[in-house]
Amino acid sequence: MATGGDPAASFVDTLPKAELHVHLEGTLEPEDMFAFAARNDVDLPWASPDELRAAYSYTGLDRFLELYYRGCTVLRRRADFHELTAAYLRRAAAQGVRRAEMFVSPQSFLDAGVPVADQLGGVLDAIAEARTDTGIDGALLVIAQRHRSEAEALELLEVLAPHRESLLGVGLGGAERGNPPSRFARFFADARRRGYRLTCHAGEEGPPEYVREALDCGVERIDHGYTAAGDPALVARLRDEGVPLTMCPLSNLRLRVTDDLSTYPIAALHDAGVVVTVNSDDPPYFGGYVADNYRALGLPDPTLAALARNGFTASFADDATVAAGRRAVDDHLAACG
Ligand code: HPA
Ligand code: ZN
C-alpha cells in the first residue's frame, strides 16, 4: 500500500519501528568488511565481497558464529566502531526505525587489544550524531559471550564500570547449546546490582528450559525465544510475567532454527498474549534489515502494526518515548488503513 509522499514506499517501510535485537558487528556489509580489512591490514579468507556473500550459508548457529567472529577481526579502531554504527543507524532510520537498542560484544575485541573505551566511544559518538542527523533514538547494550566462563563475564562488568552511565543494559550471546543461562546467574545478579537492564539470548537453538533459566535469572527480555513456542506452560509464564521476545525471522530461517516462515510462531505467540517483536539480528549475514523481516512474515498490515507497537512496549525507553512510539504506529495504521 502506498503511503505519504513517496508512492514507492510501502506500509512496512514507513511503519514506525523499534529494533531491539541487532548486533552492531553483525551489521558489517561485505564491502565495508573489505574496506576495514584493507585499512587495518587484516587478512580475510575470502577473495572478494561476492565470495564472502557466497559463504553466507549456514548449517546452524555455530557455523554462522565462526564466519561472524572472523568478520569481527577487521574492527580495530575507534573510527571503525564509529563508522559501523553510523552506517547501521542511517540504514535503520531509512527503514522507519525510531528507536534502536543495539548490542556490541567487547570480549573478542579486548582479546585483540582494542581498548573498551575505543569500542564504546566510537559507538556512542555515532549514536549521538545520528540523534541529531535523523532523530533516531539509539541505545547500547553489551553482550557477554556464553562460550566463555562466568568469571570472564564478571570481569567484563568491571571493565565496563567507567562507562556504566552510557550503557543501557547487558545480555548474553554466542554459542547457545551446552551454555545455559543458569551458568551466568551471578553475572546477571551483579549486572542488576549495577543498574543494567537485562536481556539474554535463549531458545534460539537451546531448549525451552534455557528460557526458563533466563527468566529465573531475572532477565527482562528474551532474545529469540523461538523454542518457547512449543511449550504451553512457558508461553503462559512469558505472558503472565510480561517478558517480551525479540524474534528474528530471517535469522531463524538462515540458521535453520525454522524451515518455513509460513508456520513461524510469532502470530500464534501474539494471539496467546506474549509481547513478541520483530528484529534483524545480523542483517547482511541473514539477508535483510528490520523492514525485510516484517515483510518476510507475510502477515496483514494490522498484525504487523501490532508487532511494531510491541517493539516500543518492549523497549527499555522511558514511558513518554514508549507512548509516542505506540501512538506513531497507531497514526500510521489509521492513515494507511
Ligand atoms: N545468537 C547468538 N549470538 C549471536 C547471534 C545469534 O543469533 N548473532 C550474533 N551473536
Ligand atoms: Zn542475536
User: Mind giving me the DSSP string for 143-173?
Assistant: EEETTS-HHHHHHHHHHHGGGGGG--EEEEE
Shortest-distance atom of ligand 1 to CA 174 = 3
- Does residue 201 line the site of ligand 1, with CB under 6 A? yes
SS3 275: coil
Q: Is 163 annotated as a binding residue?
A: no
Q: Cα angle at 240 between 302 and 205, to 5 degrees?
A: 80
Using the predicted structure, report yes or no on whether residue 262 has a pLDDT greater than 70.
yes
d(CA 214, CA 234): 12
Average pLDDT, the chain: 96
State which H helix or E strand residue 222 sits in. Answer: strand 221-224
Over residues 104-119, mean pLDDT: 98
pLDDT tens digits along 153-209? 999 999 999 999 999 999 999 999 999 999 999 999 999 999 999 999 999 999 999
d(CA 311, CA 12): 14
How much is the pLDDT for 63? Answer: 94
Q: Is the dihedral of CA 52, 56, 60, 61 positive or negative?
A: positive
Query: Which among 29, 101, 204, 205 is annotated as catalytic?
Result: 204
pLDDT tens digits along 211-239? 999 999 999 999 999 999 999 999 999 99
Over residues 92-113, mean pLDDT: 98
Helix runs in the chain, H state only: 11-14, 30-40, 49-54, 61-72, 78-94, 106-111, 116-133, 150-160, 185-193, 208-216, 232-241, 249-254, 266-271, 283-286, 290-296, 301-314, 319-336
How much is the pLDDT for 7? Answer: 53
> What is the amino acid identity at position 109?
F
How much is the pLDDT for 3? Answer: 43
